A and B are shown apart, each in its own frame.
Chain A
Amino acid sequence: MNRVFHVRRLAFWAAVAIFFAVLPLLFKQSFALSMLSQMGIAVIFALSYNMLLGQTGLLSFGHAVYFGLGAFFCAHALNLIGAGKFSFPVTMVPLIGGVAGLVFGLLFGFVTTRRAGTPFAMISLGIAEMVAASALMFTGFFGGEGGIATNRTVGGTVMGISYGPQIQVYYLIAGWCLVSMMAMFALTWTPLGRMANAVRDNPERAKFVGYNPTRVRWLMMSLASFFAGIGGGLAAINYEIVTAETLGLVASGNVVLMAFIGGVGHFWGPIIGAVLVTMLQSALSNYTQAWLLYFGLFFLVIIMFSPGGIANLVTLHKPAWKARLLPRLFPSYAIAAVAGTVMMLGFFALIEMIYHYEAKESVNKAFSFFGVELDPSKASAWIGTLAVFAVGIALFYGASKVVRRAWENLTVDLQKAGAV
């Protein structure tokens, strides 16, 4: 039985590898390729963060410190390679970032992991502030406001790989992402990984089964910092510049959002979060100036209506899937999707109207919203937008009742089938 399990696991990772390999064939534009690269980095970073939050119960507000330090060390390593003072394959440079993350994780973690809960969160915030401040003070290493620029092609061309074209960088990131995912997943099923969950749930009991909770937290934090450093190293290679922002509080906050949106209760939750947040951040910002507002609202909605994140929404459907009753939910979901789209379009239009009314000094405030010309200086546009929004709310309210009824019926049948 164990062997079957083993084969299935290998098959799963092989499928992921193939998926990573063919992704760039499906999305050929350079915009898509750089976004995919960004996603790979974000996935590593978010998964490493969840080793703290989801697995060990440590809410860190300073995880970008290890990501950023890894990035800086890699940028310097690349520059040293370029200057001929250091010989190291560029492909393995992210490992330097990992080691840098690990070392600083061990160092700072020694202090921060003595406490869990709120004290840990506060100390992590303090360290993040301290490192961010240092980044602007020690300009030799951190490069001050301008950061450290680097060049990913310093290794020359090895077997046709120069890391000049983005596609090659994508495959480098994909490779490291796959290896990191496998390693982090494997880690959850080691004695340390299991005890991390135990310490998260009941640190005192952990002491009375022979484990020092501080040591468990410290090790988990150090290993999480290792993977964060790998992510940072890939970022240095991908962007060829590392600035103080890379290890700043905004970056630290961002990974918290990714983890929560995706769901911290599941190993793969943060992957969803990382992909979605990266997509929103790079795609949405192309279309609207108000994207941060939408992003914030999206986070709020997730936390309010599904505190377990998107992963939890998905697993909610597992019993229905197993009982082959899932399609029964689809009609109600389709209704809700239509109603939700109307509501959201009304809402977005309203926000854009307000935004264009406020932001632009020009006489002509009209703008195109999904092909519809909206002019905030005209009352009719306001009335129309509000009407769509109001109708959308009413429809969505009705649809939510339909969805609830579908779920209630489903639950009854699941109980009859003994699946719950």
Chain B
Amino acid sequence: MSAPALQLHDVRKSFGRTSIINGVNLAIEPGERHAIIGPNGAGKSTLFNLISGRFPVSSGRIDLNGEQIDGLEAEIINRKGLARSFQITNIFPKLSVYENIRCAVMWSLGYKYSFWHRVGSLKDVRERCEEIVERIGMTKRRERVAGVLTYAEQRALEIGVTIAGGAKVILLDEPTAGMSRSETDEAVELIRKVTEGRTLIMVEHDMSVVFNLADRISVLVYGEVIATGKPEDIRANKAVQEAYLGTEQH
């Protein structure tokens, strides 16, 4: 049996004396769509920041495909095949849609810090970029400057930038936050489409999105995973209902 796509062993994080993540254990299988839910302040985004290398862990261990990644710089983790999006849109606002995608594509195609290739003549880069722009449905707006796009378009671009490098493990932090119902439905379809064949871990508040997309769900409360399981199990879980879902279901 192959190693889990992502595995967390007793991961802890504290800022000063405040403990945010109190020993999280999690194993996510390759190809799985996994949602992390929990009340505000439970530490969901912090957990993403630890996994993606934005913050160092205080203790514990994180493995990507069986290889230890905690303590590595964010860009190294990215190169190993883990990409993330951000809760607050985090793109290159002054660059065009196409250029945003191109920045996310170049490393994975091996161009690194090259100053001897002309980007315009790189066929593989162009093809990959066009494919990604097409998949996020922005072919007509590819020359637009990212900063002037609508919110929903920027969120789609954020997902595009995240998947463009071809990472096998994708972390999406509240991809539908702040969207209208129809925008959310479109975003869910987009996420389903672009994460095909990849491992997806997402933080999400919208329960319809979670139950629609996720194969499994973990519930994070006060920095601890209180339950992990299939959507129907989570819905039926007493502790979860009390801690989180309960208020919505009564």
Query: CB of A204 within 8 A of chain B?
Result: yes
**Chain B residues with CB below 8 A from A198, complex form:** 92, 95, 99, 103
A177-216 contacts to B (CB < 8 Å): 186-187, 189-195, 197-198, 201-202, 204-212, 215-216
CB <8 Å contact, B90 and A212: no
* Contact pick for B90, options A190, A205, A211, CB 8 Å: A205
Query: CB of B78 within 8 A of chain A?
Result: yes
Residues A197 and B95 in contact in the complex (CB < 8 Å), given A206-B103, A210-B107: yes
Residues A204 and B90 in contact in the complex (CB < 8 Å), given A190-B117, A209-B103: yes
Shortest C-beta distance, A312 to chain B (Å), equals: 14
| Chain A residue nearest in CB terms to B110 | A191
* Contact pick for B121, options A2, A208, A223, CB 8 Å: A2
CB <8 Å contact, B108 and A191: no
CB <8 Å contact, A209 and B113: no
CB <8 Å contact, A209 and B119: no
CB <8 Å contact, B107 and A192: no
Shortest C-beta distance, A191 to chain B (Å), equals: 4
CB <8 Å contact, B73 and A194: no
B78-135 contacts to A (CB < 8 Å): 78-79, 83-84, 90-95, 99, 102-104, 106-108, 111-121
* Contact pick for A205, options B91, B102, B165, CB 8 Å: B91
Query: CB of A47 within 8 A of chain B?
Result: no
Q: For the complex, would chain B's binding face be called helix, strand, loop or mixed by DSSP majority?
A: loop
Shortest C-beta distance, A195 to chain B (Å), equals: 6
CB <8 Å contact, A211 and B75: yes
**Chain A residues with CB below 8 A from B113, complex form:** 191-192, 195, 211, 215-216, 219
**Chain A residues with CB below 8 A from B73, complex form:** 207, 212
Query: CB of B202 within 8 A of chain A?
Result: no
Query: CB of B161 within 8 A of chain A?
Result: yes
Shortest C-beta distance, B155 to chain A (Å), equals: 14
Query: Once the chains are docked, how many angstroms separate the CA of A233 from the CA of B86?
Result: 47
Query: CB of B64 within 8 A of chain A?
Result: no
CB <8 Å contact, B74 and A207: yes
Shortest C-beta distance, A210 to chain B (Å), equals: 3
Residues A197 and B92 in contact in the complex (CB < 8 Å), given A205-B161, A207-B73: yes
| Chain B residue nearest in CB terms to A223 | B115
Q: Using a CB–CB distance below 8 Å, which chain B residues touch chain A?
A: 52, 54, 73-75, 78-79, 83-84, 90-95, 99, 102-104, 106-108, 111-121, 161-162, 164-165
**Chain A residues with CB below 8 A from B165, complex form:** 209-210
Query: Once the chains are docked, how many angstroms separate the CA of A193 from the CA of B99?
Result: 12
Shortest C-beta distance, A414 to chain B (Å), equals: 18
* Contact pick for A211, options B84, B107, B116, B120, CB 8 Å: B107
CB <8 Å contact, A202 and B119: no
Most chain A Cβ neighbours within 10 Å, of B95, B111, B113, B161: B113
Query: Once the chains are docked, how many angstroms separate the CA of A149 from the CA of B122?
Result: 48
CB <8 Å contact, A210 and B115: no
Q: 15 extra interchain contacts, Cβ-Cβ under 8 A, other than A205-B90, A206-B75? A: A2-B120, A5-B120, A191-B114, A191-B115, A193-B115, A193-B119, A198-B92, A198-B95, A204-B54, A205-B91, A209-B103, A209-B161, A209-B164, A210-B108, A211-B103
Q: Using a CB–CB distance below 8 Å, which chain A residues touch chain B?
A: 2, 5, 186-187, 189-195, 197-198, 201-202, 204-212, 215-216, 219, 223
| Chain A residue nearest in CB terms to B167 | A210
Residues A207 and B118 in contact in the complex (CB < 8 Å), given A202-B93, A215-B113: no
Query: Once the chains are docked, how many angstroms separate the CA of A332 from the CA of B94?
Result: 33
| Chain B residue nearest in CB terms to A194 | B119
Query: Once the chains are docked, how many angstroms separate the CA of A72 from the CA of B90?
Result: 45
**Chain B residues with CB below 8 A from A202, complex form:** 90-93
| Chain B residue nearest in CB terms to A206 | B103
**Chain A residues with CB below 8 A from B99, complex form:** 194, 197-198
CB <8 Å contact, B115 and A219: yes
Residues A194 and B84 in contact in the complex (CB < 8 Å), given A209-B161, A212-B75: no
Shortest C-beta distance, A73 to chain B (Å), equals: 23
* Contact pick for A207, options B75, B115, B161, CB 8 Å: B75
| Chain A residue nearest in CB terms to B94 | A201
**Chain A residues with CB below 8 A from B83, complex form:** 208-209
**Chain A residues with CB below 8 A from B112, complex form:** 191
Name 29 A/B residue pairs within 8 A (Cβ), A-sorted. A186-B118, A187-B115, A189-B120, A190-B115, A191-B113, A192-B113, A193-B115, A194-B102, A194-B103, A194-B106, A194-B119, A197-B95, A204-B90, A206-B103, A207-B75, A207-B78, A208-B83, A209-B83, A209-B103, A209-B104, A209-B107, A210-B75, A210-B79, A210-B108, A211-B103, A211-B113, A212-B75, A215-B113, A219-B115
CB <8 Å contact, A190 and B119: yes
Query: Once the chains are docked, how many angstroms separate the CA of A194 from the CA of B104?
Result: 11
Residues A190 and B118 in contact in the complex (CB < 8 Å), given A198-B95, A209-B104, A211-B107: yes
**Chain B residues with CB below 8 A from A207, complex form:** 73-75, 78
Query: Once the chains are docked, how many angstroms separate the CA of A336 from the CA of B80?
Result: 60
Shortest C-beta distance, A149 to chain B (Å), equals: 36
Shortest C-beta distance, B87 to chain A (Å), equals: 13
Shortest C-beta distance, B5 to chain A (Å), equals: 18
**Chain A residues with CB below 8 A from B74, complex form:** 207-208
Query: Once the chains are docked, how many angstroms separate the CA of A201 from the CA of B74?
Result: 18
